[in-house]
Structures are given as C-alpha cells and as structure tokens.
Structure 1
C-alpha cells in the first residue's frame, strides 16, 4: 500500500513488472514460463531473479520455495527442449516394423516440430556461454543421448550400414546440427507453418545421410 506524501496525495512505490495473465499453472511451472519469456527476450544475463518472480506474479523470496535460482530455471528449460524428442527417439529405436529411413525421417520431423512449436526460441539458449558450466551436465547428457539415437538410426539405414565410423560421425553431426539450427531459420520466417519446416528439414536430413 502506498504512503501519504504529506501533501494530501499518495506516494506510489516503484512499479512492478507486468505480471503474466493468470494461466492456472502451478507456481514452478509459472516461474519456468516467465523465465522462458524473459531469457529469450531480455537475455539470460540481463534477467534478474526478481524480474522472473514478478513476471510470474510472486515475490522474489517466494520464488526460492520452488527453485534455487536462475541456473536451475535455465537447466530445466534446456532439458525440456530435448526430453520429449529423446522419449520419442527411444520408442523409434525399439520399433522393428518400419525401415530405419522412415523412423529417422519421423524423428527429424518430430524433433523440429517440438523445437519450433513453443512460444519462445529456447533453442537459442543453447549458445549461452553459461551452458558450458558443470551445472548443466544433465542437459548435455540427455542431448548426447538424443544425438546417439540419431547416430543409431543413421547407421541402421541401408547406406549408413556401410559407412566408416568417421563418416558416420560426420553425417550424424551434420544432421543433428541441421535439426537444432532450423529454429534460427524459423525465427526469421515465423509466419511459415512449423509443419512445413519440419517436413522439409526431415527430407534434407535424409539427403545428407545418403538415404
């Protein structure tokens, strides 16, 4: 509540940052949504924990009941960009009824859709220098497992089975880089449907592998 300024008026305190509309999310999910917005619009280094808390509609002190700070929020956001694709990749690797080429195409298409479908460009956070720190080992572990799933599917294709290890690794790097890089392309043309990007990227990935 404001205080009287001695002249009959009310002294207004420093305005709070605009809160997010009521979303019905749990507090931790609300903090993650606020962090995703601020990290991708203001920048990670320029975003304070106070700004995240206020954007989520809570006091800074209350925020620490749910997360330890900015690093935990960033780590969770990064892992959220990989985990759904990894779950799908595991299921595709376990399939026996479809050719590896078809399963690889499906993984590429789905991965692009998951990366581009959110309201914020979380893929851009991969490039932050802070992400190299040990705190983000969990993200790097799930990302490495997803990349290995790509490698296994490429190796299982008719062409991939005859590749030397170095060539297989190179094609895996190229495909994986294509998938993660497409979010930058989509950002430059946000009106184009994500499904168009996803299918075109999956087609390009198979051409890279020689499949």
Structure 2
C-alpha cells in the first residue's frame, strides 16, 4: 500500500490554521483524514475538492498541501486503513499453533477494525469514483495479500470436503466476504455488536467446514491470545 513517500508529506510548519479553539490540540493530519473520510463517504470522492476539505477542517487550502500532496494521497491513506490492521495482525499469527484459532483471531480483528473505522470508510473501495483510481489498485494489491492469508489458514484448518472442492483463492474470497459484511451492517445504520463480531469470526471457520466443537475451542484460544497481546507493552 501507500508509503510515506506516496503521501508526499512536506516538512516544516504550514501557514496559520483557522480551526475552532476546541480543536487546537488535534493533529492536523488526523483532522484532515477524518474530515476527508466523512466527505468522501457522504458526497463522493469525485464530488469533494481540497477546498471542501480545508474549509471543513478550518484551515487554508494551501495549508492542506503541507500534509498531503492532494486528494490522492488522502485517499491512499484512508484505503490503507481498511486493510493494514488485518495485514499487520496476520504477520503475528505464526506464534499460534492452532490454525483454527489463528483464523478466528484474524477474522475477529479484521471485522472489529472495519466495524470501528471512522465514517465506515470500508465502503470507499466499492465506490465507482474510487474503484478506478491508482490508489484503489494499490489497495486491491494489499487486499489480495489479505485474501492469501485467509486462504492459507483456511486450507490448514478446513475439512477435506471443503479443501478438495474449493480453491484456496475462493476460500479466501469467501472469508473476506463474511468479514466485510460488517461494512453493510454499518451502512444500514446498525451498530456492530461484540456478539456479532464473534459470530463473524465463527462464520469464517464454518465456511471452511470446521465443526462447532472446534470453533468453540478456537474462540477460547483466540481469547487467551487477545489477552496476552493486550498485556504486551
């Protein structure tokens, strides 16, 4: 996905910012991302200008360019937010001996991330005015990495009936569809509950043909791993 270079962040202070007093301690990049997320989701990427973003943040339009080169850099960072947490977590799963628990944990973490991202930016990749951009192509490459991670775990823990009939790529796509269902839940105006997040993780295992008894064990192991990860400095 995009690197710091692709965002073209420029060094040095920007011009004086015009923001409400209550927001004077907020990080300007975070403000820009949050406002852009709201506008891109609400009125479309093509329908949002850098002037719109700057005015909503409360800064001069020129000041925005001290943090991002323009809309593409902002979009790239927002799209990365939708896959990076899960990709980072996928890299930490080698310590888990149980592939069922690893898959459960990855799906749970991914779903939780999508359920809590600001302004439901998980919707952005499917927007027509976003899907054809170069930034969306970068996002798609990262999403393929995530699909491969899901597929590899699915093959490890899946039943023979499933793995003999469904290709690893299809398994990865099926699990991604289950996890990304939380985006639609949020779009309908519903809050994604803790119970629903665990249901998504369990469904990821069911797609692979994992028996219910093993799913329950995987949930317990994943819970222990989560506690350990939370306690780590």
TM-score grouping bracket, smaller chain normalisation: 0.7 to 0.9
Cα deviation per residue 1:88-145 (whole Å; 9 max; x = unaligned)? Answer: 01111x12x4310111011111110000113311011011233333343332222111
- Please give the alpha-carbon distance, in whole angstroms, between the structure 2 residues aligned to 1:20 and 1:196: 39
**Which residue of the partner structure matches residue 196 of structure 1?**
195
Structure-to-structure mapping, 1:146-161, within 5 angstroms: 146-159=146-159
Structure-to-structure mapping, 1:31-180, within 5 angstroms: 31-92=32-93, 94-95=94-95, 97-129=96-128, 130-159=130-159, 163-164=163-164, 166-180=166-180
Aligned Cα root-mean-square deviation (Å): 2.4
Secondary structure of 1:170's aligned partner:
helix
1:170, distance to aligned residue in structure 2 (A): 1.9
1:20, distance to aligned residue in structure 2 (A): 10
1:40, distance to aligned residue in structure 2 (A): 1.6
- Please give the alpha-carbon distance, in whole angstroms, between the structure 2 residues aligned to 1:41 and 1:21: 24
For residues 61 and 168 of structure 1, do their structure 2 counterparts lie closer, same or farther at Cα, with a shift above 3 Å needed? same
For residues 207 and 162 of structure 1, do their structure 2 counterparts lie closer, same or farther at Cα, with a shift above 3 Å needed? closer
1:166, distance to aligned residue in structure 2 (A): 4.7
For residues 117 and 23 of structure 1, do their structure 2 counterparts lie closer, same or farther at Cα, with a shift above 3 Å needed? farther
1:146, distance to aligned residue in structure 2 (A): 1.2
Judge conservation of contact 1:112–1:179 (CA < 8 Å) in 2: yes
Structure 2 unpaired stretches of 5+: 1-18, 211-233
Secondary structure of 2:111's aligned partner:
helix
- Please give the alpha-carbon distance, in whole angstroms, between the structure 2 residues aligned to 1:25 and 1:69: 20
1:38, distance to aligned residue in structure 2 (A): 1.1
**Which residue of the partner structure matches residue 205 of structure 1?**
204
Whose helix proportion is higher, 1 or 2? 2
* Number of residue pairs matched by the alignment: 191
Given the two structures, how large is their TM-score scaled by the length of structure 2?
0.73
- Please give the alpha-carbon distance, in whole angstroms, between the structure 2 residues aligned to 1:183 and 1:103: 22
Judge conservation of contact 1:19–1:56 (CA < 8 Å) in 2: no
Judge conservation of contact 1:32–1:77 (CA < 8 Å) in 2: yes
